[in-house]
Amino acid sequence: MDAQLSKLSFEDALAELDRIVRGLESGQMKLEDAISAYERGAALRRHCETKLSEAEMRVRAITQRDGTVDVAPLSEFDEPTGGTAQ
């Protein structure tokens, strides 16, 4: 992942991905431009998935115990599998 992409917030990456999708769906791009846009879109999708995974891990680290909120070390949790939180 390039350095500029890794600095993008989730929201900025998602907005750029949305613009790319709309551009590709319009069918008005030249073939080479469409391929480049598709490649950028794929990188943005991976970046967004990474950001979401990181956020999920942070949320999963917050656990409810005896009516108080405790923060558990991330090592107590498995990697996210797309299922429900433990």
Q: What is the mean pLDDT of the chain?
A: 83
Answer yes or no: pTM beyond 0.85: no
d(CA 22, CA 62): 37
Residue 29 is encoded by which pair of tokens? 């791009």
Token output for 26? 């319009």
Q: How confident is the model at residue 84 (pLDDT cuts 50, 70, 90)?
A: very low
Arithmetic mean of pLDDT, 36-54: 97
- Class of residue 43 by CB neighbours under 10 A (exposed 0-12, middle 13-18, buried 19+): middle
Give the model's pLDDT for residue 56.
Answer: 87
More confident residue, 76 or 23: 23
